Amino acid sequence: MARKLKSDNVLFITTILLVALSVVMVYSASAPVALEKYGRASIFLIKQGMWALLGTAMLYIVMRIDYRHYREPAFIWTALTFVSFALIAVYFRAPVNGARRWFGVGGIGIQPSELAKLVAIIFIAAILERRGRRIDDVTYSLLPIAVVVLGLVALILPEPDFGTSMSLLVIAAVMVFAAGLNYRYIAGLALVSLPVLYVVVMGSAYRRRRTLSFLNPWDDPLGDGFQIIQSLIAIGTGGVWGKGLMNGVQKLFYLPEPHTDFIYSVI
């Protein structure tokens, strides 16, 4: 008789607690903006709470499925095909804040690049599980991973979404490294990646501005560096323990997107 797989209850409960805490933090960060825009301080709390419940239900359902089904080629290639078409679809949407990263389906916003990271992790894990004993064989093990990951990056980078592209590359590198890749390959990859990364960053005015403003936001405190400076002020004034729930100041229309991009500063 096949052994029944058991879920990690501690991990599940910890996840639920973190989700609940996150919903509270979203309310704390979004209340002033929601009240100003929609006349209701709790509108983002309600929406986020609904998504949290839906996500928790989906998490429970996925936990009940044997994870080995996710490594089946039919599932993986279907997921990769869906994500690839979704990444292409965003190019036909109107840009938001100069970027095409989202598209809506029935009033629901979807960011395909985040789905791409999940699918890439499943794909890489499946390859490493099947071919991990020959991890140093470039053609057999590394080339399929490189083709898929670089293909996804090629679709994500022009959105433009440099951050997600780099995080996808880092995820792939860490997974391959953890699988036991020889150090000489890692060193060679690092040597090749540095000049390529420099060209990619400095070859685009948008990415160059974002990188330089991150390194020194005070060069343009009212322009590209404004968001970073406001986040630093929020973190600096709050200190280690913060100012208490709902008592933060920078979320009061100083910090752009306090409940999304810069929620860490509010927390």
- 51 and 93 assigned to the same domain: no
Residue 217 has pLDDT above 90, yes or no: no
- 170 and 157 assigned to the same domain: yes
* Residue 209 belongs to some domain of the structure: no
Note the pLDDT of residue 257.
66
- 104 and 189 assigned to the same domain: yes
- 146 and 52 assigned to the same domain: no
Pick 41 or 121 by higher pLDDT: 121
Count of other CB atoms within 10 angstroms of residue 116: 27
- 43 and 91 assigned to the same domain: no
* Percent of the chain predicted with pLDDT > 70: 85
- 41 and 16 assigned to the same domain: yes
Question: How far, in Å, CA of 10 to CA of 12, rounded?
Answer: 5
Note the pLDDT of residue 256.
64
- 56 and 71 assigned to the same domain: no
Note the pLDDT of residue 76.
94
How many distinct structural domains can be found in the chain?
3
Instruction: Give the β-pairing of 103-105 and 108-110.
Output: antiparallel
* Residue 90 belongs to some domain of the structure: yes
Task: Tell me the two tokens of residue 43.
Answer: 């509108």
DSSP state of 96: B
Map residue 240 onto helix, strand or coil: coil
Helix residue ranges, H only, 183-267: 183-202, 205-215, 226-238, 263-266
* Percent of the chain predicted with pLDDT > 90: 21
- 79 and 169 assigned to the same domain: yes
- 192 and 246 assigned to the same domain: no
* Residue 217 belongs to some domain of the structure: no
Per-residue pLDDT band at 92 (split at 50, 70, 90): confident
Could you read off the pLDDT of 145-183 as tens digits, one per residue? 999 999 999 999 888 888 899 899 999 999 998 888 888
- Angle at CA of residue 44, ends 41 and 50, nearest 5°: 130
* Residue 97 belongs to some domain of the structure: yes
Task: Tell me the two tokens of residue 208.
Answer: 């160059």
- 246 and 133 assigned to the same domain: no
User: In terms of C-beta density within 10 A (0-12 exposed, 13-18 middle, 19 or more buried), how is residue 156 classed?
Assistant: buried
Residue 42, domain extent: 6-65
8 A C-beta contact, residue 234 and residue 29 = no
- 115 and 88 assigned to the same domain: yes
Note the pLDDT of residue 84.
94
**Which of 29-33, 116-120, 211-215, 255-259 has the highest average model confidence (pLDDT)?**
116-120
